[in-house]
Amino acid sequence: MISLREMDEAGFIGTMPEETIQAKLKQEVSRVLVSRENRKTVGKITVDNPRMTCRNVDVWYGDKQAIKNVSLDIGRNEVLAMIGPSGCGKSTFIRCLNRMNDTIDGCRIAGEVKLDGVDIYGKNIDVVPLRAQVGMVFQKPNPFPKSIYENIAYGPRIHGLSANKAELDEIVERSLIKAGLWDEVKDWLDQPGTGLSGGQQQRLCIARTIAVNPEVILMDEPCSALDPIATAVIEDLIDELREQYTIVIVTHSMQQASRVSQRTAYFHLGDLIEVGPTAQIFTNPSHQLTEDYITGRFG
Amino acid sequence: MSKDHIVRSYDQELDLLISKISEMGKVAEEQLAKAIEALITKDSRLAVNVIYSDAQVNDLQNTVDGLTVRMLAMRQPMGSDLRHIISALKIAADLERIADYAANIAKNVMDLDHVSLEKPVGLIIRMAELASHMLKDVIDAYRKSDVRKATAVWHRDEDINQVYADLISHLRSYMKADSDNINAYTSLIFAARCCERIGDHIKNVAESVYFITHGESSFENSLQKKQLA
């Protein structure tokens, strides 16, 4: 909205009714895109009753800082999409959420990441159960070179989630049903998981993640190796899984982010630039860098 | 919007869209100017010309519609691009209506050439001229994404409404005194109504210009929201 002064200069204040002027005076300054140079996070980073909270997270690979002071909440039963150009830190950030970065030499992490109020980088935290609670699905489907049944049963067995074979059978069936794969594989459970199609393999990996009762499922570009039909099946599945789990998805497809998520976070060169409701981010972002990226002007 | 798209053909398409809207605006403006001219000179041949050349604007609207549908399907626009493309559809519809009203004004010219109604016709010409200037300015504001100019145009609609109100009250008293010429007076009311509606459509275009830049539906809405809150 132009200012009253500008209106006056243009010669229109005089003809405006008094109540309109009063309303205009009360009106907030309208949306002005935050400049490209400003790198402070724009938007609301907090949610009510969060599942995970991240505060002032820094990540270095050797001397190179990959994540710079990122603070962000992840809500319950929401799909949070992370978007941004390659090398922006979104995959690095998602890997902080279940300490997947621990395995990388020279990787240092500062700040605080909490799951249900507990610091996952605390001294007494065992990463094995943590990674069950915060499961992960990768870009390329990576089933074990074992039977479909064993792919699912492996996790519950090592985590001691079943007392006997009957219980284990039930977990396998339930997980495959939730992953929308049961009808397609129920007669072939003893066949190798690697014999399935790409989309089926990815759903098998999701079933494997679900089998160990996670709270959060991290997905790092889960559909980038899949065709549009298999992608649609996974996206539909994500929508269903949201009722029970919190999902954080990294994706290079903005259309996918806009379809599956409720909140979207935009990363750029290690900074969290903007976070907000997905519809707002894609129709009316507040930061110029977000606008550049979603409209294809990045570069 | 300072930066270009990575995909250059996208920019070319957006430029084409803007130029088609500008062209539509120009044709609508010419139509209106010719209608005014026909009113002034009582030239029924020119009036017929306006009525027939309305098809040109309709064709341009079809072009804009086709282009926007194509861009929505093929580019999956986001952010300001999305707002630009959606607004192009709306602006094209507004401009098409404006040209229709210009043709309607021309249709009424034929009923006016046999009576002397200098004063009310003068007021209609005044309204149409105000509308014509506003139309030129709003298209200019659209081409340059000049929200300030668009806002100024938006407020000028009040001037047209003022003349309209004066005209109607004049006509009421004329009609009481001179019931023999009731046909001519009703034609004048129609023509005045057309000018008044043209002003409203120009206002819509101004709101679209605002929306493209700010992503809010209109200043009027945001004002109303504030007043309700």
Query: In terms of CA atoms, which chain A residue is nearest residue B81?
Result: A295
The answer to the question of residue B143 being in a domain is yes
Match 């806002």 to its residue by tokens: B151
Q: Are residues A265 and A137 in the same domain?
A: yes
What pLDDT is attached to residue A26? 55
Same-domain pairing of A162 and A237: yes
Identity of residue A128: V
Percent of chain A with pLDDT over 70: 89
What distance in Å separates the CA atoms of residue A220 and residue A283, rounded to the nearest whole number?
A: 24
CA distance A126 to chain B (A): 43
Two structure tokens written together for A73: 């909440």
The phi, psi pair for A69, rounded to 5°, reads 50, 60
pLDDT at B108: 85
Q: How far apart (Å, rounded) are the C-alpha atoms in residues A143 and A76?
A: 28
Alpha-carbon distance of B103 to A4, in angstroms, equals: 38
The answer to whether residue A289 scores a pLDDT higher than 60 is: yes
Which residue's structure tokens are 């986001």? B78
Beta strand pairing status for A271-277 and A263-268?
antiparallel
Q: What is the pLDDT at residue B226?
A: 55
End-to-end CA distance of chain B: 32
**Residue A23's pLDDT band (cuts 50, 70, 90):** low
As given in the structure block, the two tokens for residue A155 are: 């996790």
Low-confidence winner among A61-65, A206-210, B38-42, B123-127 (lowest mean pLDDT): B38-42
- A183 CA to centre of own chain: 28
| Residue B2, in any domain of the structure | no
DSSP bridge pairs for A114: A53, A119
Beta strands A52-61 and A64-74, pairing class: antiparallel
Q: Which of residues 241-280 of A touch B (CB under 8 A)?
A: 254-255, 258
- Domain, as residue range, for A261: 31-294
Beta carbons of A282 and B158 less than 8 Å apart: no
Beta bridge partners of A220: A250
List chain B residues with CB under 8 Å of A290.
79
Measured CA to CA, the distance from residue B96 to residue B135 in angstroms comes to 12
- CA-nearest residue to B210 within chain A is A1
Task: Answer whether residue A9 shows pLDDT above 70.
Answer: no
The answer to whether position B17 is within a domain reads yes
Q: What's the pLDDT score for residue A4? A: 43
Query: Could you give the ipTM of this predicted complex?
Result: 0.74
Q: CB of A86 within 8 Å of any CB in chain B? A: no
Q: Are the CB atoms for A15 and A259 separated by under 8 Å?
A: no
Please say if the pLDDT value at position A10 is more than 90.
no
Q: Are B63 and A269 in contact (CB under 8 A)?
A: no
Q: Going from the first residue of chain B to its last (229 residues), give the mean pLDDT of each consecutive group of 10, the final group possibly shorter.
A: 80 94 96 92 90 94 95 91 96 97 90 71 91 96 94 94 94 87 87 95 95 78 58
Query: Is the pLDDT at A28 greater than 90, yes or no?
Result: no
Whether the CB of A12 is below 8 Å from some CB of chain B: the reply is: yes
Q: Please return the burial class of A14, using the count of CB atoms within 10 Å of its CB with bins 0-12, 13-18 and 19+.
A: exposed
Q: What pLDDT sits at residue A22?
A: 56
Cα–Cα distance, A275 to A264 (Å, whole number):
6
Mean pLDDT within A21-45: 73
Q: Which of B70, B71, B61, B55 lies closest to B91, judged by CA?
A: B61
Instruction: Judge contact between A257 and A264, C-beta under 8 A.
Output: yes
State whether A156 and A284 are in the same domain. yes
| pTM listed for this prediction | 0.81
> Looking at the structure, do residues A17 and A107 belong to the same domain, yes or no?
no
Q: Which two three-digit tokens encode residue A27?
A: 């009106």
In angstroms, the separation between the Cα of residue B91 and the nearest Cα of chain A is 19
Q: Tally A–B CB contacts below 8 A.
A: 82
Q: What is the pLDDT of residue B3?
A: 77
**Consecutive H or E run containing A82:** strand A79-83
In a domain, B42, yes or no: yes
Nearest to A30 among B79, B156, B214 (CB): B214
Measured in whole angstroms, the distance separating CA A39 from the mean position of its chain's CA atoms is 21
What residue in B sits closest to A290 (Cα-Cα)?
A: B79
d(CA B14, CA B84): 8
Same domain, yes or no, for A18 and A100?
no
Q: Is residue B3 part of a domain?
A: no
Contacts A26 to B, Cβ<8 Å: 226
Tally of domains within chain B? 1
pLDDT(A2) > 50: no
- The per-residue pLDDT for A169 is 95
Q: Which residues of B touch A20 (CB under 8 A)?
A: 223
Cα–Cα distances (Å) from B133 to A195, B26, B53, B199, in that order, read 71, 12, 21, 10
Taking Cα atoms as reference points, which of B138, B221, B81, B131 lies closest to residue A295?
Answer: B81
CATH number, domain with residue B181:
1.20.58.220
Range with the poorest average pLDDT among A13-22, A98-107, B65-74, B189-198: A13-22
User: Residue B1 falls within a domain, yes or no?
Assistant: no
Count of the separate structural domains present in chain A: 2
Q: Is any Cβ of chain B less than 8 angstroms from the Cβ of A23?
A: yes
**What is the structure's pLDDT at B27?**
96
- Could you give the CA distance from residue A71 to residue A274 in angstroms, rounded to a whole number? 11
User: Is-contact A229 A236, C-beta < 8 A?
Assistant: no
Chain-centre distance for alpha carbon A265 = 8
Q: What pLDDT sits at residue A142?
A: 92
Residues paired with A57 in a beta bridge: A70
Chain B interface, mutation test: which of A1, A26, A264, most B Cβ atoms within 10 Å?
Answer: A1
Same domain, A19 and A60: no
What pLDDT shows up at residue A14?
Answer: 42
Q: How many CA atoms lie within 13 A of A277 on its CB side?
A: 4
Is the pLDDT at A7 greater than 80, yes or no? no
Structure tokens at A82: 């992370």
Taking residues A74-102, report their average pLDDT: 94
Asked if A188 and A264 sit in the same domain, the reply is yes
Contact B5 A295 (CB under 8 A): yes
User: Does A287 lie in the same domain as A266?
Assistant: yes
